[in-house]
Amino acid sequence: MDIILKNTVSNYLCFIAKVVSGLILTSLLYNGLGKESYGFWVLLWSVYGYTLLLDFGFGFSIQKSSAEYVHKKDLTKLLRQINSIFFSYVFLAIGIVIFSLAFLYTCGSLFVAELGDPYYQNVYLFFAVVTAIIFPTGIFSEILVGLGHIYLRNIVRLVFISTNAVGILLMPEIKILELTVFSLLLHLIANLFLLYFVKKKISCFSLSIKYFDKSEVRELMRFSLSAYVVIFTNLILFNSDQIILSSIAGVGSVGIYHLATRLPFFMKMLNEQFQENVFPLLVSKRNIKFDMILTGNKFISFISNLSFSFAFVFAEEIIYIWIGETNPEIILIAHLSLCYSFIATLFKSINNSYLMANDQVSKVVRFSLLEVILNLALTFLLVPLIGVVGAVVASLLALFISLLFYVPYFVKQIDVHFSIWYKKIFKKNNLVLLINLSALSIVKLVLNNDYGLLYIATLALVSGLLYLYMFFNFVWDEYKFNNKYLYFVKRYSLDWKGR
């Protein structure tokens, strides 16, 4: 089986495992720990999520370096860069521990009342120390992504998710200290298995302070900080709406907006499972331009069109089955958010990877900042005028305006005329999308609206088969696929097999 296919399938398996595990464990932990301990557990992991911002984009740099220097067979340079980042993380981890201890023994109980209890103090101390140890080991996952062996990382993740879920299910009594010890040590063991796979793929791999080089850190920082700004602006883009809404329209509006955007959020996650393959491949094949961009974009279009057409037409039914809501405002926001997610994925997912792989990360930063600034300004303007819907309308307008600058710049970079780019990537795909949307809409009008799960599942199957039929009959040749696998997979995955 080709490596890109393995990577993509294993990404989807991990996604499904996380969703299923989350659904089971959330209820179990809430009822088993009790409200107070569960709240403390969620708070710990929320704080840990913010410490990941201390990555400063170096994880993305390591993906780039792993792909680039393995392709160039310059493993000495790669080892220096990996060790320089690893020990930079170690120094940061020491800082995290010192800060955590200072917070606990100075003002911790003022912010979190439970930290005045010795039992919760022990939980906090163990969590702080072990997550600081885990922090540098996160680099091993990024190395495997850069090498193109995402499926190896996913094997470890699947085992970790399964073992964690089974271990918690088998606990006779769930207590937060035992839960913390079990989950964190399991996480650390999983990362050490990732280290094992890294050593298997890079025979000369070793971790030693003697390889640490400040000049390598400075060299990587030029790329990593720009990548970090992109990540940070995306964080603002996807989270600022709720903060602005709460200040202008009240907390209740945040709840409506959050519910309405869950469906687009999951659609976005479904569409991005292939994308992780692209960046390291583009780094190692910088001389390849339009053919790789063409195939990658078309594959993303294929997945996005399929998920969008069904989610858009049956958003009302899906939301009702999922959360029991039929509020027209929620349905409208869901439809607009689906459009935003769909357009952003089509135009930016693969294309951003190409620009960043070709040292155009500063341009990606500028386009991202433009969209963020426009989004914030338009949200402040539109929410008072049209309510909660104004937030998602602002996002769409900001996206459209930024694309007016982004698309011409990108087309110029790949040295292809806009008309050719549109024809090769979007023309037939858009036609198939419109036919599928029309067919599903007609089916919905003809049949009585039924919010049953069987009704939705049947239509999902029919929708998928209809789309696949049209795709393989009208767009197959344009995609340069062979009879079994993607041209993209067949041509480029051979480069990774020896790694």
| Spatial separation of the C-alpha atoms in residues 429 and 426, rounded to whole Å | 5
Highest mean pLDDT among 118-122, 141-145, 249-253, 288-292 belongs to 141-145
Note the pLDDT of residue 1.
47
**Angle 118-137/176-201 helices, nearest 10 degrees?**
10
410 contact partners, CB below 8 Å, separation of at least 6:
351, 354, 355
Residues 454-483 pLDDT 10s: 777 777 777 777 777 766 666 555 444 444
Q: Which two tokens stand for residue 409?
A: 């710049």
Looking at residue 112, its pLDDT comes to 56
Computed over every residue of the chain, the mean pLDDT equals 77
Question: What does the pLDDT look like over 193-216, one tens digit per residue?
Answer: 999 999 988 888 888 888 888 888
- How many alpha carbons lie under 13 Å from residue 359 in its C-beta half-sphere? 9
255, 326 contact by CB (below 8 A): no
CB 51 within 8 A of CB 131: yes
Task: Determine the average pLDDT of the residues in 157-184.
Answer: 89
pLDDT band, residue 24 (cuts 50/70/90): confident
Residue 481: what pLDDT? 40
Q: Residue 266 in contact with residue 314, Cβ under 8 Å?
A: no
- A 10 A CB-CB count for 77 gives 14
What's the CA angle centered on 156, arms 151 and 160, to 5 degrees?
140
Task: Tell me the helices (H) and strands (E) count for the chain, helix number first.
Answer: 23, 0
The confidence score (pLDDT) of residue 404 equals: 92
Instruction: State pTM to two decimals.
Output: 0.72
pLDDT over 70, % of the chain: 77
Average pLDDT in the 369-373 region?
Answer: 87
Per residue in 53-85, pLDDT (tens digit) is 667 778 778 888 888 787 778 888 888 888 988
Q: Is the Cβ–Cβ distance between 57 and 228 less than 8 Å?
A: yes
Residue at token pair 């036919």: 435
State the Cα torsion 288-72-272-399 to the nearest 10°.
-60
Residue type, 479: Y
pLDDT of the residue at 239:
59
